[in-house]
Structure 1
């Protein structure tokens, strides 16, 4: 399937979700299971800078009682292996078919639903999964997206433009996505006060604000989802000193 044919039938994201759903339905392995497919990452959050950016999908098992993440992952791998050559990467499932647009562009995070109590009778939906080393990770991609969209409205388009500028500056500085992950950059810039993005040079002003931030306060910054801590020892966290060096490098570009 070509990009041109995809554009006539809907967005790339919708096409990728449909392709995954059809492949899963070809197998009987997941018939009794209730799951949800949705997008995450830069394409969904409108912070991507290249037309060929990856499409990040979440395949989330609903109500995972008595059927854990490991079993779900194994069943998903087996089900998709009936249609594709698949493998587990560091965190995501990848389709090994460079001749296919689906294999070339789509990363699939296999996860189970996680519910975080937030008050009497209320909770926040998140996802649970493990990385290649078996370390547990809980994240909240839907809340991340909602918070980003809300900040974009409050800043009149300045927030996501600054994220895209930071990604371009990362490339010019020779930093890899591993050195300066897009998620880290987006979360850092989300912590900058809304008013900073309404000035004449919001990106530079945002970097200046982060550089002036009190070290103790900087170390306590939350992720964009407002639940997880951005810095710490976990597999989905970073060191404040590393983030500070990245900000300094971007500031010089």
Structure 2
């Protein structure tokens, strides 16, 4: 897939910037009401992707204040992009379905409205396919991951990529990254960082299950475990840790 000489083998940062620019240009043809912001999230933005063919994940966030809600904004985005490409709403993100389009099937766009926490943290709000509300903080997730990777000399994201490569089918990569973010920095500086990180999580679950169940997401705001559609069950996480530790 190419456009203006760009291929998927170009540096990742440039590819993300290009995708953001192209989406912005497409939306400019059918202006959306109110102000909005476009930024990258996911494994490419966090530099934990495994292959050049990994999806590009973008967030299209409507800035507050605005009239109407998330559903109105989603419908406006669908209408605007539908004038250019065949589009549909997936489980959570908007997908461009035309394989011959600029994006093909490699870009997912999370349509969201701005959410401000009680402490003033900026997050995103959206509904999944079942109509369940989700609030997340992708900018904080990315920032905290970058800072931890810097503190550990690049070992944190190296371990995340290794774990993602060997994870059981169906394991959410986002939640796996959040889980590993809770491992203390000094463990990642050890020669056997991958095995030591998983061993720390196993001990935490077995010796202090209440502390394990209270672990936060990488964004430092949401809880990793709970009943929400973007949360995990402690027992399921422990099972996956055991599988990964045996590799």
Bin of the TM-score, shorter chain as denominator length: over 0.9
- Counterparts of 1:200-219 in structure 2, within 5 Å, are 200-213=191-204, 214-219=208-213
Contact 1:64 / 1:112 at 8 angstroms: preserved in 2?
no
Match of 2:5 in 1: 5
CA distance in structure 2 between the partners assigned to 1:196 and 1:64 by the alignment: 44
Q: For residues 187 and 22 of structure 1, do their structure 2 counterparts lie closer, same or farther at Cα, with a shift above 3 Å needed?
A: same
- Counterparts of 1:190-205 in structure 2, within 5 Å, are 190-205=181-196
Match of 2:171 in 1: 180
Match of 2:131 in 1: 134
- Counterparts of 1:23-62 in structure 2, within 5 Å, are 23-28=26-31, 30=32, 32-62=33-63
Match of 2:220 in 1: 226
Unmatched 5+ stretches in structure 1: none
| Offset of residue 41 of structure 1 | 0.4
CA distance in structure 1 between the partners assigned to 2:151 and 2:76 by the alignment: 43
CA RMSD of aligned residues (A): 1.6
Contact 1:127 / 1:140 at 8 angstroms: preserved in 2?
yes
Q: Does 1:115 align with 2:109?
A: no
Match of 2:19 in 1: 16
Contact 2:27 / 2:80 at 8 angstroms: preserved in 1?
yes
CA distance in structure 2 between the partners assigned to 1:131 and 1:104 by the alignment: 20
Query: C-alpha deviations, 1:117-151, integer Å up to 9, x for none?
Result: 32xxxx11100000000000000000001100110
Task: Give the number of aligned pairs.
Answer: 241
Match of 1:155 in 2: 152
SS in 2 for 1:107: strand
SS in 2 for 1:74: helix
CA distance in structure 2 between the partners assigned to 1:165 and 1:64 by the alignment: 42
CA distance in structure 1 between the partners assigned to 2:62 and 2:150 by the alignment: 32
CA distance in structure 1 between the partners assigned to 2:159 and 2:35 by the alignment: 38
Q: For residues 4 and 205 of structure 1, do their structure 2 counterparts lie closer, same or farther at Cα, with a shift above 3 Å needed?
A: farther
Unmatched 5+ stretches in structure 2: none
CA distance in structure 2 between the partners assigned to 1:101 and 1:245 by the alignment: 40
SS in 2 for 1:108: strand
